[in-house]
Amino acid sequence: MTSTHKAWRLHAYNDLRFDDVATPKPAPDGVVVRIEAGMVLSYTNRLLSGALPYSLPPMPFVPGTNAIARVIATGENVTHVREGDRVFLSPHLRGDVPDRDPPQILIGLTATVTTPEAFALQARWRDGVFAEIAHWPAACVTQLANLDDKPAAELIGLAKLIVPFGGLQRAGLRGGQTIIVNGATGYFGSGGVMLAVAMGAGRVV
């Protein structure tokens, strides 16, 4: 692992720079990965210009949310992935507390609840995936077993499924049940249809 790497960092609104930054060692609950492909949201330009009123991480920070990557180092408490694994990075991080509404952030994008606890979480995990290397919380890293033959540009399509999967989980979808997807031709709606079928729904309307 090199001592530095290249990263796009937002220093101020409309001030995105391609910087040399120090490559971190993984935290005990962290994973360091080499990015293969990252998702660029359709509204990224509005985000970087400040046109969207998002609760951004402290600047400078590396934007970017979902990615396909390869593990190059893991923290001492990480057991579900190891060096060399191909992984999917999700930006949705929830604080590990028993609260009904825990602190939540989208790494490299915004704090989804504006509480001091969420901002503290965001300050710790501020940098996203628009970089050669990223340091990610292990809780948001999923191994992609037996998918080494698939191009990263195809696998990044998994990002489409993250939000609908969370919704179907929260709704408690079980095999054989009927589910109605209202708006099934959009980005997340079409993903919800595919996931509902994969999760065993008896009927999808």
Mean pLDDT, residues 154-168 taken together: 87
Q: How confident is the model at residue 37 (pLDDT cuts 50, 70, 90)?
A: very high
* Average pLDDT for the chain: 93
Q: How much is the CA Rg of the chain, to the nearest whole Å?
A: 18
Token pair, residue 94, equals: 């929830």
User: How many angstroms separate the CA atoms of 121 and 110, rounded?
Assistant: 11
Q: What pLDDT score does 2 carry?
A: 81
pLDDT tens, residue by residue, 62-118: 999 999 999 999 999 999 999 999 999 999 998 887 777 789 999 999 999 889 999
Q: How confident is the model at residue 133 (pLDDT cuts 50, 70, 90)?
A: very high
- Which element (helix H / strand E) includes 91? none
Asked if 105 and 136 touch (Cβ cutoff 8 Å), the reply is: no
Alpha carbon of residue 79 to chain centroid: 19
What whole-number percentage of the chain has pLDDT above 70?
A: 100
185 has pLDDT over 80:
yes
Residue 142 backbone dihedrals phi, psi, to 5 degrees: -120, 130
- Give 101 or 59, the one with higher predicted confidence: 59
Token pair, residue 167, equals: 């919704």
User: How many angstroms separate the CA atoms of 69 and 133, rounded?
Assistant: 9
Bridging pattern class, strands 67-74 and 4-12? unpaired
Superfamily of domain 4-156: Medium-chain alcohol dehydrogenases, catalytic domain (3.90.180.10)
pLDDT tens, residue by residue, 7-36: 999 999 999 999 999 999 999 999 999 999
Nearest CA-CA partner of 78 in 32, 147, 131: 32
Q: Is the dihedral of CA 13, 60, 104, 133 positive or negative?
A: positive
Q: Residue ranges of the domains in the chain?
A: 4-156
Token pair, residue 163, equals: 């939000």
Q: Which string of b and e fits 61-97 if b means at least 16 CB within 10 Å? A: bbbbbbbbbbbbbbbeebeebeeebbbbbbbbbbbee
